[in-house]
């Protein structure tokens, strides 16, 4: 079974994957391996992927939903391929980012928010289109990652934040076969037509890309997709954040 399948073959294999998933999981696993089953599931065309409340695409993230007005329901990577990761800096705190992305009047949100302490919030599923790049085509092809802090405060970009974000980006690249390079991992400032400057001159791209490459070479365990992972930490305090969120 080829890994790079055409449409018709993909459809056929997709149905087989459904049958395997429905009745003969153990036998299927023996033949294909779970990683390949997972791969096939993500590529399953013509069928909306199942959605489970609170499900995560990145292991270790906490789920906290963005307002419905700040993203568009989609079925990526089948309706739109994903080949870009867009790096943002929020111009505010982690709590501020969560608060404004939960505000339907904000009109923007990213899939993920990474804090200075390395914690990660997932606010939109990767299969959906987040409004974060200010460019429809880029939104449709990308995953957006917001980072706590201000573009003119290099001390905000902590080692914990870089490391955690790099693991997140490496996982995204692995899930969708995105090359780990600066053509595919870009700053908001590099999006065509944008007037945003984030992540700004103090974002250390050389350091970040090296961390992404290292994380890609040593992937962490596959996402558990556990609906309870976020809920377990739902009681986390949300402090009052300052600053205006212009990064989104």
* Site residues for Zn ion per CB under 5 A: 88, 188, 196, 198, 247
Report, in Å, the least distance between residue 15 CB and Zn ion.
40
Q: Judged by CB, which is closer to Zn ion: 125, or 188?
A: 188
Give the residue carrying structure tokens 């905000």: 156
- Strand order of the β-sheet with 120-122 is 62-63, 120-122, 112-114, 142-147, 84-89, 185-187
Specify which residues 146 forms β-bridges with.
88, 113
78 vs 140, beta carbon nearer Zn ion: 140
At 174, which helix (H) or strand (E)?
Answer: helix 159-176
Measured from the CB atom, the residue of 156 and 198 that comes closer to Zn ion is: 198
Collapsed DSSP state (helix, strand, coil) of residue 32: helix
Least distance (Å) between residue 43 CB and Zn ion: 30
Q: Which is nearer to Zn ion, 17 or 168 (CB)?
A: 168
User: Minimum CB separation from Zn ion for residue 120, in Å?
Assistant: 17
CB nearer Zn ion, residue 116 or residue 196: 196
Min CB(53)–Zn ion separation in Å: 28
CB 9, min distance to Zn ion, A: 39
Do 192 and 133 contact (CB within 8 A), yes or no? no
Beta carbon nearer to Zn ion, 127 or 191: 191
Nearest to 213 by CA among 242, 170, 171: 170
Minimum CB separation from Zn ion for residue 190, in Å?
11
CB 162 within 8 A of CB 208: yes
The least CB distance from residue 116 to Zn ion, in Å, is 17
How far apart CA 90 and CA 124 sit, in angstroms, is 16
DSSP letters of 105-151?
A: TT----SEEE-TTS-EEE-S-TTSEES-SS-HHHHHHEEEEEESB-T
How far apart (Å, rounded) are the C-alpha atoms in residues 101 and 124?
10
Nearer to Zn ion, 77 or 144 (CB): 144
């Amino acid at each position: 079974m080829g890994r790079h399948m055409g449409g018709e073959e993909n459809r056929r294999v997709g149905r087989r994957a459904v049958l395997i998933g429905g009745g003969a999981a153990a036998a299927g696993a023996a033949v294909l391996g779970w990683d390949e089953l997972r791969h096939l599931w993500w590529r399953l065309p013509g069928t909306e992927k199942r959605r489970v409340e609170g499900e995560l695409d990145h292991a270790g993230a906490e789920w906290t939903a963005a307002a419905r007005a700040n993203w568009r329901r989609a079925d990526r990577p089948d309706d739109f391929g994903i080949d870009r990761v867009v790096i943002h800096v929020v111009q505010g705190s982690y709590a501020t980012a969560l608060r404004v992305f939960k505000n339907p009047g904000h009109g923007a949100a990213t899939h993920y928010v990474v804090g200075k302490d390395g914690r990660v919030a997932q606010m939109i599923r990767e299969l959906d289109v987040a409004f974060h790049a200010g460019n429809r085509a880029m939104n449709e092809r990308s995953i957006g990652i917001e980072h706590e802090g201000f573009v003119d405060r290099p001390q905000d970009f902590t080692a914990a934040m870089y490391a955690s974000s790099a693991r997140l980006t490496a996982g995204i690249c692995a899930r969708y076969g995105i090359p780990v390079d600066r053509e595919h991992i870009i700053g908001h400032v590099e999006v065509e037509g944008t007037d945003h400057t984030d992540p700004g001159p103090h974002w250390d791209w050389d350091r970040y890309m090296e961390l992404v490459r290292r994380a890609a070479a040593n992937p962490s365990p596959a996402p558990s997709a556990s609906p309870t992972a976020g809920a377990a930490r739902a009681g986390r305090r949300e402090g009052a954040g300052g600053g205006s969120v212009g990064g989104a």
